[in-house]
Amino acid sequence: MIVADHYFYNGKKFEYSKSLRQIRSKIGNPKILKTSYPCKNNLSELHRIYRNKKYLLEEKTKLVDFNHPLYVLFSSGTTGLPKCITHGHGGSLLQHLKELSIHTNVKKEDKMLFLTTCGWMMWNWTVSNLLLGSSITLYDGSPFYPSKDRVIHLTKKSKSNMLGAGAKIYEAIQNNHNPKKKNILPNIKCFISTGSPLSSSTFRFINQNLNKKSFIHSISGGTDIVSCFMLGVPTIPVYAGEIQGPGLGMNIDVFNEKGKPTKMTGELVCKTPFPSKPIFFWNDKSFKKYQSAYFEKFKNIWAHGDYVKKTKNGGYIIYGRSDATLNPEGENWNGEIYSALQNFSWIDDSLATAT
């Protein structure tokens, strides 16, 4: 394990020593290389890690099965204890290669900056760029510290030509932006957005103010599949507010509550297997939690928990989580309720509830 004894976020210092002791007591006595948090004026700790590369590489590379565990990712835990979702080597890498090389059009000469923590699946997705020989820029910190234009500054300084971030970060850039400034990031060929729906107005802002010639690549999937159900297609038109289409090989559909396909808003499902299904949940030998999480709602059909609608353009609009849709007096209210508030600069955030 390589660990830091503390870290900084938003200008504040967070100690990690106590957590490290707890981790160590739980997993026995692993080999630990403890470092101090590196900063631009002191890179000695990074040099020490490099000098210890022999110590770090004692374990030799070995061949493993296609479904040998690669990642354990954790669900948010908002609806109960977090799920320990275990993904295999082969399926995860196949999905990432498909999504990065075909859907995102990543080339060997590209460099991607994706604003993500190590705990978000987008970190795993970003690292898979290395399979294509392209470069990645890793950033550990707030996207708005020490200034509101931090993302713009980072993108230019790192000389990245692909930028990925949560939709809320793009919205924040939009709200803090001088509308008279155009073509702010002329070298970006692709803007990737995920985490929540990217609004139509933010689509237009990216196109009109950041780079008119770039590909706006809205994607959606999740920790559960460490990849995407739907994402961009570089060869077809982009429509504001929509995700362009399903991922190659992803047999998705929209079901109503009776388990039938619908042209209205409904539940996102995947009707046939795909490579990056979790191989199991940790400590769920009977697969009881696994079955309950994805296959309880519709028999033998993956129900993802997103509330979506297929558009006349062949794309998709995601309105939020199906278990978070408000339903006062039988009337469905989805994420669009927040769109009415986005144009008010004096509203930072909002939350709707129903009784």
Both tokens assigned to 318: 């995601």
The edge-to-edge listing of strands for the beta sheet with 227-231 is 220-222, 227-231, 245-246
Question: Where does 177-267 have alpha helices with state H?
Answer: 200-205
CA 81 distance to own-chain centroid: 21
Residue 343's region, left for phi above 0, alpha for psi from -120 to 50, else beta, is alpha
Q: Which amino acid is at 346?
A: W
Element (H, E) at 218: strand 215-218
Question: Could you report how far apart the first and last alpha carbons of the chain are, in Å?
Answer: 48
Contacts of residue 186, Cβ cutoff 8 Å, sequence gap at least 6: 211
Query: Is 351 inside any structural domain?
Result: no
Cα–Cα distance for residue pair 308/253, rounded to 1 Å: 9
Domain that holds residue 158: 2-341
How far is residue 143's CA from residue 165's CA, in Å, rounded to a whole number?
9
Distance CA 100, CA 135 (A): 12
The CA distance from 99 to 96, in Å, is 5
Structural domain contains residue 244: yes
- Residue 349 within a domain: no
- At 165, which CATH number? 3.40.50.12780
Q: Enumerate the H helices of the chain as residue ranges.
A: 17-27, 44-51, 53-56, 89-98, 121-127, 150-158, 167-175, 200-205, 288-294
Beta carbons of 241 and 199 less than 8 angstroms apart: yes
Is residue 326 in some structural domain? yes
Please report, in tens digits, the pLDDT of each residue of the chain (355 residues total): 777 778 888 989 888 778 888 887 887 776 776 776 666 566 676 676 666 666 556 667 789 999 999 999 998 765 567 889 999 999 999 999 999 999 999 999 999 999 999 889 999 999 999 999 999 999 988 999 999 999 999 999 999 999 999 999 999 999 988 878 899 999 999 999 999 999 999 999 999 999 999 999 999 999 999 999 999 999 999 999 999 999 999 999 999 999 999 999 999 999 999 999 999 999 999 999 999 999 999 999 999 999 999 999 999 999 887 765 555 544 555 555 666 676 677 787 777 776 6
Q: Which residues pair with 42 in a beta bridge?
A: 39
**Rg of the chain over CA atoms, in angstroms?**
21
Residue 353: inside a domain, yes or no? no
Domain count, the chain: 1
pTM, entire model: 0.86
Whether residue 261 lies inside any domain: the answer is yes
Q: Tell me what pLDDT residue 198 has.
A: 95
Residue 256: inside a domain: yes
- Which pLDDT score, from 0 to 100, does residue 330 have? 45
